[in-house]
Amino acid sequence: MNFTNLLVETRDRILYITINRESKLNALNKVTLAELHHAITNSFHDNTIGGLIITGAGQKAFVAGADISEFADFNTDEGRELAREGQSKVFDVIQNSEKPIIAAINGFALGGGLELAMACHIRVAATTAKMGLPEVSLGLIPGYGGTQRLSQLVGRGRALEMILTADMVSAAEAHRTGLVNHVTEPDMIMAKSEEILKKIISRSPYAVGCAIRAVNAAFIEGQNGYESEIAEFSNCFGSEDFKEGVAAFLEKRKAEFTGK
């Protein structure tokens, strides 16, 4: 598939997705969100892809928010549909992906950009990155899951302060509060993201998917995370990956997982 606003490349079992609207600071518009949905969901059916890295074009921005011009005249019903569609087709899809997805935050991650990064499983930020949810300065609130995911990552108090003040935080502060996993020099951000992802890809894909579902269950209303863990743990015993992993351990060799 040809994309208008994305650069997509696969190398060494990693799908690299670069949001390519540098002149617009890689702002998310309808076309970009639709293309993200297709690129990500298509990867789920490609056995040659073990994980994904999402980043932004250029050195200034990861994604500096949503494209405000597209929804400046929306009414309440249109606003509700905008948030619902974005969450269901992109942000929730990323969070619930059984393949690991890393956000390489190479610059400004604001509004929808930070929400995109927070939906990913792991975040690596450049030392120059700035992050924030500035929506209240526009008379809005985060609509792509930001209020929920930021609270889960940094706690209610810090989340409220970031959202209500609309202030940006540095990469160092984001790391201190748990918003990002790692901070690197700008020229090392992809290398660090690849290092983490290649390590994950070397593990059992079946178990990785089970682990992601079990962790996510802790944040699903009405779902008992401990019971989900028990269910996913038991499922592993019926997988080919478990048999191979145990055999490789006993035979002192490297496991050759199939993801089944």
Residues 127/171, Cβ–Cβ less than 8 Å: yes
Model pLDDT, residue 120: 98
- Give the whole-number percent of the chain exceeding pLDDT 90: 93
CATH 3.40.50.300 fits 6-201, yes or no: no
Are the beta carbons of 104 and 189 closer than 8 angstroms? yes
Q: Could you tell me which residues come within 8 angstroms of residue 112 by beta carbon, excluding any fewer than 6 positions away? A: 27, 28, 63, 65, 66, 86, 144
Largest interatomic CA distance in the chain: 65
C-alpha distances out from residue 223 to 15, 91, 121, Å: 31, 20, 20
Give mean pLDDT, residues 208-216: 97
Amino acid (1-letter code) at residue 123: R
Mean pLDDT of the chain: 96
Under the banding of pLDDT at 50, 70 and 90, the label for residue 2 is confident
pLDDT digits (tens, 9 = 90+) for 70-127: 888 999 999 999 999 999 999 999 999 999 999 999 999 999 999 999 999 999 999 9
pLDDT of amino acid 165: 98
How does pLDDT run across 46-86, given as a tens digit for each residue? Answer: 999 999 999 999 999 999 998 888 888 999 999 999 999 99
pLDDT in tens, 5-41: 999 999 999 999 999 999 999 999 999 999 999 999 9
Domain boundaries of the chain, sorted by first residue: 6-201, 205-250
Instruction: Give catalytic residue positions.
Output: 115, 135
The span from the CA of 108 to the CA of 27, in Å, is 10
